Structure 1
């Protein structure tokens, strides 16, 4: 093969080599861009900092309750559903009228249940007689209406209980004392918990010989642990409530918050 032929072959293959070289260059640039993006995403990911410390803190705050929750129900029995309903409605309406007379708004009175149950009588066999099957028959019906009440003047809670007892309402529970809006007391407890965690972090950083940086993670666990005072009367014991309104201590409701804070250290 002479030189002219070789030159022609080389000349013919030159564009192919150029194209291949360009393609490899573009591929290298593409892979470089992907690698840089991956490194950037890794830096912005949620992977925790390697140089961090995590501390926990607790805080609590107390508030005087301003709501007394009282629930009651009336139960009446009769031969028919209609008669039992009428008797229960009469007693419930009287109780509701009394509740409203205590300056309790309609929005703070809510029906929580209404139930109708049949009452059965079982026909027992005579002594010494073998019975194949005992029979039961309906002898009447029982109607129960349940009401929940919010008493915003906690000093009136005892009067409400006594008044309901005077009306013959036998199933009463409460009061349970709560704080209507817990946001302020929770915020105060949270602030104390954060301060507690910060003090622990500063002490730990001093012991480790490092300096605290910015906060990189935070979590909170919060909940109220109220000191509840319950009061309930039923049956014969209700007669004592007619004579005098009970004196009910309100106490305080305590809210506890715990936090976990992660600091960057350097």
Structure 2
């Protein structure tokens, strides 16, 4: 009886070793490009005064005036959102003397703009500048619906990964089949356009260069079986 048990154990161990299929892990990337169809930016208005009511009124006046100019430039209510309103009482660090006498009320408000009228970006920036906005942040041009481009990028990424794995496997006359796939996607950053403070220029639209194409890149980490 002991001899039979020993024989079964040896047979099972041999089968397990034989089924230990080798694998290879590779990373594939795929990049496609498309034309941007939307832009967005955040404009900030900050006012300060020793009296809270005065600081609030100044901020409200600038916001209301800016919104009117933006609508005159072609934007609608659906393109605009005022948010992140704050009121703080703190030291005014823009003065040389940081004493209690320099304590002020600071009111901060933001206007978030989203529009599909790319050609109007310069007029929008000009309206913000004329309205008295303190800081005009980065203008982001992007593709609102990237699903189709993402799918194409993933397809190219898989083909790239399989090509790399096949190249290695073919050296041993082996074929590859996928075992595990991990998806990664790189959301594209867009136009690095910054305008801090007031733009010193005439009434003409502030020049903005709209990118002709935006790249969408996807990557895959794929593990393949290598089999005959």
Pairwise TM-score range, normalised by the shorter structure: 0.7 to 0.9
Give the whole-Å Cα distance in 1 for the aligned partners of 2:90 and 2:39. Answer: 35
1:52 aligns with 2:26: no
- The question of whether the paired residues in 2 share the 8 Å contact of 1:165 and 1:239 is answered with no
Give the whole-Å Cα distance in 2 for the aligned partners of 1:227 and 1:142. Answer: 32
- The question of whether the paired residues in 1 share the 8 Å contact of 2:91 and 2:99 is answered with no
Provide, for residues 134-190 of structure 1, a one-character-per-residue CA deviation record: whole Å limited to 9, x for no partner: 962366533221111112211111110011212222321231222212222221111
> What's the CA shift for 1:79?
4.1
Give the whole-Å Cα distance in 1 for the aligned partners of 2:160 and 2:20. Answer: 23
Provide, for residues 207-236 of structure 1, a one-character-per-residue CA deviation record: whole Å limited to 9, x for no partner: 111233x4221112221343433130414x
Q: How many residues align?
A: 207
> What's the CA shift for 1:49?
5.7
| Greater Cα radius of gyration, structure 1 or 2 | 1
Q: Which has the higher helix share?
A: 1
For structure 1, list consecutive stretches of 5 or more residues without a partner in the other structure: 1-38, 125-133
- The question of whether the paired residues in 2 share the 8 Å contact of 1:121 and 1:136 is answered with no
2:209 pairs with 249, 252, 257, which one? 249
Give the whole-Å Cα distance in 1 for the aligned partners of 2:48 and 2:221. Answer: 57
Give the whole-Å Cα distance in 2 for the aligned partners of 1:118 and 1:227. Answer: 36
> What's the CA shift for 1:60?
0.9
For structure 2, list consecutive stretches of 5 or more residues without a partner in the other structure: 1-11
- The two structures have a TM-score, normalised by structure 2, of 0.77
Give the whole-Å Cα distance in 2 for the aligned partners of 1:211 and 1:136. Answer: 76
2:191 pairs with 216, 228, 244, which one? 228
Give the whole-Å Cα distance in 2 for the aligned partners of 1:49 and 1:261. Answer: 18
> What's the CA shift for 1:204?
2.4
Give the whole-Å Cα distance in 2 for the aligned partners of 1:66 and 1:49. Answer: 51
Give the whole-Å Cα distance in 2 for the aligned partners of 1:192 and 1:95. Answer: 45
- The question of whether the paired residues in 2 share the 8 Å contact of 1:226 and 1:255 is answered with no
1:80 aligns with 2:51: yes
Give the whole-Å Cα distance in 2 for the aligned partners of 1:75 and 1:216. Answer: 55
> What's the CA shift for 1:193?
0.8
Change (3 A) 1:90 1:188: same
1:259 pairs with 186, 199, 220, which one? 220
- The question of whether the paired residues in 2 share the 8 Å contact of 1:177 and 1:229 is answered with no
